[in-house]
Chains A and B, each alone.
Chain A
Protein backbone atom coordinates (compact mmCIF):
# COMPACT_ATOMS: atom_id res chain seq x y z
CA UNK A 1 0.00 0.00 0.00
CA UNK A 2 1.67 3.21 -1.18
CA UNK A 3 0.89 6.35 0.77
CA UNK A 4 1.56 9.78 -0.61
CA UNK A 5 4.96 10.82 0.72
CA UNK A 6 5.84 7.23 1.51
CA UNK A 7 5.13 7.61 5.21
CA UNK A 8 5.56 4.57 7.40
CA UNK A 9 2.91 3.59 9.87
CA UNK A 10 4.64 3.86 13.19
CA UNK A 11 4.98 2.46 15.81
CA UNK A 12 5.29 -0.96 14.23
CA UNK A 13 2.47 -3.22 15.36
CA UNK A 14 2.97 -5.68 18.22
CA UNK A 15 3.78 -9.14 16.85
CA UNK A 16 0.57 -11.14 16.60
CA UNK A 17 0.86 -14.14 18.88
CA UNK A 18 -2.23 -16.36 19.11
CA UNK A 19 -4.73 -17.15 16.38
CA UNK A 20 -6.81 -14.24 17.49
CA UNK A 21 -9.51 -14.20 20.10
CA UNK A 22 -11.56 -11.43 18.58
CA UNK A 23 -12.13 -8.26 20.49
CA UNK A 24 -15.74 -7.57 21.43
CA UNK A 25 -16.28 -3.95 20.40
CA UNK A 26 -14.55 -0.72 19.54
CA UNK A 27 -15.68 2.89 19.98
CA UNK A 28 -14.11 6.11 18.73
CA UNK A 29 -15.37 9.43 20.12
CA UNK A 30 -14.29 12.98 19.40
CA UNK A 31 -13.89 15.63 22.08
CA UNK A 32 -17.53 16.69 21.86
CA UNK A 33 -18.88 13.25 22.61
CA UNK A 34 -19.87 12.46 19.02
CA UNK A 35 -19.44 8.77 18.34
CA UNK A 36 -17.29 8.63 15.20
CA UNK A 37 -17.12 4.88 14.98
CA UNK A 38 -18.69 1.86 16.62
CA UNK A 39 -17.48 -1.57 15.48
CA UNK A 40 -18.93 -4.74 16.91
CA UNK A 41 -17.33 -8.13 16.39
CA UNK A 42 -18.70 -10.20 19.22
CA UNK A 43 -21.45 -8.87 21.47
CA UNK A 44 -24.01 -11.38 22.72
CA UNK A 45 -25.68 -8.91 25.07
CA UNK A 46 -27.19 -5.55 24.11
CA UNK A 47 -28.49 -3.76 27.16
CA UNK A 48 -29.55 -0.46 25.61
CA UNK A 49 -30.28 0.89 22.15
CA UNK A 50 -27.22 2.21 20.36
CA UNK A 51 -27.79 5.93 20.99
CA UNK A 52 -28.08 5.39 24.74
CA UNK A 53 -25.20 2.96 24.70
CA UNK A 54 -22.86 5.52 23.08
CA UNK A 55 -23.94 8.25 25.46
CA UNK A 56 -23.49 5.97 28.45
CA UNK A 57 -20.04 4.94 27.32
CA UNK A 58 -18.93 8.52 26.79
CA UNK A 59 -20.40 9.58 30.11
CA UNK A 60 -18.68 6.73 31.92
CA UNK A 61 -15.30 7.66 30.45
CA UNK A 62 -15.75 11.34 31.17
CA UNK A 63 -16.60 10.63 34.80
CA UNK A 64 -13.82 8.08 35.23
CA UNK A 65 -11.27 10.58 33.95
CA UNK A 66 -12.61 13.14 36.38
CA UNK A 67 -12.37 10.56 39.17
CA UNK A 68 -8.80 9.54 38.39
CA UNK A 69 -7.67 13.16 38.14
CA UNK A 70 -9.14 13.81 41.58
CA UNK A 71 -7.87 10.59 43.14
CA UNK A 72 -4.32 11.02 41.91
CA UNK A 73 -2.17 10.32 44.97
CA UNK A 74 0.94 12.00 43.61
CA UNK A 75 -0.56 15.39 42.89
CA UNK A 76 -1.52 17.73 45.70
CA UNK A 77 -2.93 20.51 43.54
CA UNK A 78 -6.22 19.40 42.11
CA UNK A 79 -9.31 21.16 40.99
CA UNK A 80 -12.76 20.19 42.12
CA UNK A 81 -14.40 17.00 41.01
CA UNK A 82 -16.20 17.42 37.73
CA UNK A 83 -14.08 20.15 36.20
CA UNK A 84 -13.62 19.24 32.52
CA UNK A 85 -10.02 18.21 31.98
CA UNK A 86 -8.06 19.05 28.85
CA UNK A 87 -6.64 16.00 27.05
CA UNK A 88 -3.41 15.15 28.80
CA UNK A 89 -4.11 17.29 31.84
CA UNK A 90 -4.24 15.42 35.12
CA UNK A 91 -3.87 11.73 35.70
CA UNK A 92 -5.91 9.62 33.31
CA UNK A 93 -6.68 5.92 33.36
CA UNK A 94 -5.66 3.60 30.52
CA UNK A 95 -7.72 0.53 31.27
CA UNK A 96 -10.17 -1.11 33.60
CA UNK A 97 -11.14 -4.72 34.00
CA UNK A 98 -14.30 -6.43 35.17
CA UNK A 99 -14.97 -10.14 35.44
CA UNK A 100 -16.44 -10.29 31.90
CA UNK A 101 -14.48 -7.71 29.90
CA UNK A 102 -11.49 -5.42 29.82
CA UNK A 103 -11.81 -1.88 28.51
CA UNK A 104 -8.69 -0.17 27.16
CA UNK A 105 -8.74 3.56 26.62
CA UNK A 106 -6.52 6.08 24.91
CA UNK A 107 -7.03 9.78 24.37
CA UNK A 108 -5.03 11.70 21.79
CA UNK A 109 -3.97 15.32 22.31
CA UNK A 110 -6.72 16.38 19.89
CA UNK A 111 -9.33 14.78 22.13
CA UNK A 112 -10.07 11.70 20.00
CA UNK A 113 -10.85 8.81 22.35
CA UNK A 114 -10.20 5.20 21.37
CA UNK A 115 -11.91 2.49 23.36
CA UNK A 116 -11.35 -1.21 22.82
CA UNK A 117 -13.34 -3.86 24.70
CA UNK A 118 -11.75 -7.30 24.89
CA UNK A 119 -11.82 -10.39 27.04
CA UNK A 120 -10.56 -9.89 30.62
CA UNK A 121 -7.33 -11.84 30.16
CA UNK A 122 -5.93 -9.40 27.58
CA UNK A 123 -2.66 -7.69 28.46
CA UNK A 124 -1.69 -4.06 28.11
CA UNK A 125 -3.17 -2.70 24.92
CA UNK A 126 -1.63 0.76 24.91
CA UNK A 127 0.66 -0.01 21.96
CA UNK A 128 -2.26 -1.57 20.12
CA UNK A 129 -4.35 1.55 20.58
CA UNK A 130 -1.44 3.68 19.37
CA UNK A 131 -1.28 1.59 16.22
CA UNK A 132 -5.02 1.96 15.71
CA UNK A 133 -4.59 5.71 16.11
CA UNK A 134 -2.04 5.61 13.32
CA UNK A 135 -4.49 3.70 11.15
CA UNK A 136 -7.01 6.45 11.92
CA UNK A 137 -4.51 9.14 10.90
CA UNK A 138 -3.64 7.42 7.65
CA UNK A 139 -7.07 6.29 6.50
CA UNK A 140 -9.41 8.83 8.06
CA UNK A 141 -7.67 12.08 8.95
CA UNK A 142 -5.78 12.13 5.68
CA UNK A 143 -8.89 11.26 3.70
CA UNK A 144 -9.85 14.40 1.78
CA UNK A 145 -13.49 13.37 1.61
CA UNK A 146 -13.88 12.92 5.38
CA UNK A 147 -15.35 15.77 7.41
CA UNK A 148 -13.94 15.84 10.95
CA UNK A 149 -16.59 15.41 13.60
CA UNK A 150 -18.81 13.16 11.53
CA UNK A 151 -19.31 9.42 11.36
CA UNK A 152 -16.38 7.57 9.82
CA UNK A 153 -17.40 5.89 6.57
CA UNK A 154 -14.01 4.87 5.22
CA UNK A 155 -14.01 1.32 3.89
CA UNK A 156 -10.22 1.05 3.93
CA UNK A 157 -10.12 2.05 7.58
CA UNK A 158 -12.74 -0.55 8.51
CA UNK A 159 -10.92 -3.28 6.61
CA UNK A 160 -7.52 -2.42 8.05
CA UNK A 161 -9.01 -2.23 11.55
CA UNK A 162 -10.79 -5.59 11.27
CA UNK A 163 -7.64 -7.23 9.95
CA UNK A 164 -5.50 -5.79 12.72
CA UNK A 165 -7.91 -6.60 15.51
CA UNK A 166 -8.12 -10.20 14.35
CA UNK A 167 -4.41 -10.49 15.00
CA UNK A 168 -4.55 -9.31 18.63
CA UNK A 169 -4.22 -12.19 21.07
Chain B
Protein backbone atom coordinates (compact mmCIF):
# COMPACT_ATOMS: atom_id res chain seq x y z
CA UNK B 1 0.00 0.00 0.00
CA UNK B 2 1.83 3.05 -1.19
CA UNK B 3 1.59 6.30 0.67
CA UNK B 4 2.04 8.34 -2.51
CA UNK B 5 -0.84 8.31 -4.96
CA UNK B 6 0.42 10.57 -7.73
CA UNK B 7 2.91 13.24 -8.73
CA UNK B 8 2.40 16.26 -10.98
CA UNK B 9 4.75 18.86 -12.37
CA UNK B 10 3.36 22.06 -13.90
CA UNK B 11 5.26 24.74 -15.78
CA UNK B 12 5.09 28.42 -14.95
CA UNK B 13 2.06 29.00 -17.20
CA UNK B 14 0.04 26.28 -15.54
CA UNK B 15 0.43 23.58 -18.19
CA UNK B 16 1.00 20.02 -17.08
CA UNK B 17 4.44 18.74 -18.07
CA UNK B 18 4.59 15.55 -16.04
CA UNK B 19 2.02 13.27 -14.42
CA UNK B 20 2.69 9.90 -12.82
CA UNK B 21 0.15 7.80 -10.97
CA UNK B 22 1.44 5.30 -8.39
CA UNK B 23 -1.60 3.12 -7.99
CA UNK B 24 -4.71 4.96 -6.95
CA UNK B 25 -8.23 4.05 -7.95
CA UNK B 26 -8.69 7.58 -9.12
CA UNK B 27 -6.28 7.39 -12.01
CA UNK B 28 -7.16 10.08 -14.52
CA UNK B 29 -6.89 10.19 -18.28
CA UNK B 30 -4.77 12.82 -20.01
CA UNK B 31 -7.47 15.41 -20.48
CA UNK B 32 -8.60 15.28 -16.88
CA UNK B 33 -5.07 15.51 -15.56
CA UNK B 34 -4.47 18.57 -17.74
CA UNK B 35 -7.63 20.21 -16.42
CA UNK B 36 -6.82 19.42 -12.83
CA UNK B 37 -3.30 20.82 -13.21
CA UNK B 38 -4.52 24.12 -14.68
CA UNK B 39 -7.16 24.39 -11.98
CA UNK B 40 -4.52 23.90 -9.32
CA UNK B 41 -2.33 26.55 -10.91
CA UNK B 42 -5.19 29.07 -10.75
CA UNK B 43 -6.16 28.17 -7.19
CA UNK B 44 -2.56 28.56 -6.13
CA UNK B 45 -2.51 32.07 -7.59
CA UNK B 46 -5.88 33.09 -6.11
CA UNK B 47 -4.88 31.94 -2.64
CA UNK B 48 -2.12 34.54 -2.70
CA UNK B 49 -4.70 37.28 -3.27
CA UNK B 50 -6.66 36.33 -0.18
CA UNK B 51 -3.78 36.47 2.24
CA UNK B 52 -4.29 38.71 5.29
CA UNK B 53 -0.60 39.63 5.32
CA UNK B 54 1.98 40.35 2.67
CA UNK B 55 4.47 37.86 1.28
CA UNK B 56 2.20 34.93 0.53
CA UNK B 57 3.67 32.43 -1.90
CA UNK B 58 0.65 30.18 -2.36
CA UNK B 59 -0.75 26.93 -1.02
CA UNK B 60 1.83 24.52 0.43
CA UNK B 61 -0.48 21.90 1.87
CA UNK B 62 -4.09 21.01 1.20
CA UNK B 63 -5.77 18.57 3.59
CA UNK B 64 -8.85 16.73 2.39
CA UNK B 65 -10.82 13.80 3.79
CA UNK B 66 -9.08 11.04 1.87
CA UNK B 67 -5.78 12.60 0.77
CA UNK B 68 -3.24 15.35 1.38
CA UNK B 69 -1.71 17.43 -1.36
CA UNK B 70 1.76 18.90 -0.84
CA UNK B 71 2.97 21.56 -3.26
CA UNK B 72 6.39 23.01 -3.81
CA UNK B 73 6.96 26.02 -6.03
CA UNK B 74 10.45 26.73 -7.28
CA UNK B 75 11.76 30.28 -7.66
CA UNK B 76 11.05 30.12 -11.40
CA UNK B 77 7.37 29.28 -10.93
CA UNK B 78 7.50 25.55 -11.72
CA UNK B 79 5.22 23.70 -9.33
CA UNK B 80 5.73 20.16 -8.05
CA UNK B 81 2.85 18.60 -6.19
CA UNK B 82 2.17 15.17 -4.79
CA UNK B 83 -1.11 13.57 -3.74
CA UNK B 84 -0.58 11.26 -0.78
CA UNK B 85 -2.34 9.52 2.10
CA UNK B 86 -3.46 11.84 4.89
CA UNK B 87 -0.70 12.38 7.41
CA UNK B 88 2.22 11.22 5.28
CA UNK B 89 5.47 12.69 6.59
CA UNK B 90 8.48 14.09 4.73
CA UNK B 91 6.67 14.97 1.54
CA UNK B 92 8.40 18.35 1.48
CA UNK B 93 11.77 16.62 1.43
CA UNK B 94 10.59 14.32 -1.34
CA UNK B 95 9.46 17.27 -3.43
CA UNK B 96 12.87 18.89 -3.03
CA UNK B 97 14.48 15.64 -4.19
CA UNK B 98 12.20 15.58 -7.23
CA UNK B 99 13.17 19.19 -7.95
CA UNK B 100 16.82 18.23 -7.86
CA UNK B 101 16.20 15.33 -10.24
CA UNK B 102 14.29 17.71 -12.51
CA UNK B 103 17.21 20.14 -12.68
CA UNK B 104 19.74 17.35 -13.26
CA UNK B 105 17.94 15.14 -15.78
CA UNK B 106 15.50 17.48 -17.46
CA UNK B 107 16.88 21.01 -17.49
CA UNK B 108 20.43 19.93 -18.22
CA UNK B 109 19.22 17.77 -21.08
CA UNK B 110 20.07 19.72 -24.25
CA UNK B 111 17.23 18.11 -26.18
CA UNK B 112 14.58 19.16 -23.70
CA UNK B 113 12.48 22.15 -24.72
CA UNK B 114 11.47 24.42 -21.87
CA UNK B 115 7.85 24.26 -20.75
CA UNK B 116 7.18 21.14 -22.87
CA UNK B 117 6.06 17.76 -21.51
CA UNK B 118 8.94 15.83 -19.98
CA UNK B 119 10.10 12.83 -21.98
CA UNK B 120 13.44 12.06 -20.40
CA UNK B 121 14.15 8.41 -19.66
CA UNK B 122 16.81 9.08 -17.04
CA UNK B 123 14.42 11.35 -15.16
CA UNK B 124 11.77 8.60 -15.08
CA UNK B 125 14.25 5.97 -13.90
CA UNK B 126 15.71 8.10 -11.15
CA UNK B 127 12.32 9.34 -10.06
CA UNK B 128 11.02 5.79 -9.68
CA UNK B 129 14.10 4.94 -7.64
CA UNK B 130 13.57 7.93 -5.37
CA UNK B 131 9.90 7.10 -4.82
CA UNK B 132 10.71 3.45 -4.15
CA UNK B 133 13.34 4.38 -1.62
CA UNK B 134 10.82 6.63 0.05
CA UNK B 135 8.24 3.88 0.05
CA UNK B 136 10.65 1.40 1.66
CA UNK B 137 11.51 3.92 4.35
CA UNK B 138 7.84 4.63 5.04
CA UNK B 139 6.72 1.01 5.13
CA UNK B 140 9.80 -0.23 6.88
CA UNK B 141 8.87 1.53 10.09
Contact = CB atoms under 8 A, between A and B. Distances in A.
Contact of A73 (B24, B48, B59): B24
B120 interface: no
Contacts of A99: 55-57, 60
Nearest to A42: B52
A97 B36 contact: no
Interface string B37-65: 00110110011111111111111111111
A60 B47 contact: yes
Interface residues of B, number: 37
A11 interface: no
B67 A60 contact: no
B119 interface: no
B26 A75 contact: yes
Interface residues of A, number: 40
Contacts of A127: none
B83 interface: yes
Interface string A29-46: 000000000000011110
A7 interface: no
Interface string A67-91: 1101111111010010000000001
Nearest to B54: A45
B12 interface: no
Contact of A76 (B26, B39, B50, B59): B26
Contact of A81 (B36, B54, B61, B67): B36
A43 B66 CA distance: 32
Contacts of A47: 49-51
A66 B62 CA distance: 13
A74 B63 CA distance: 15
Contact of B43 (A25, A44, A67, A101): A67
Nearest to B69: A71
Interface of B: 5-6, 24-26, 28, 32, 35-36, 39-40, 42-43, 46-67, 69, 83
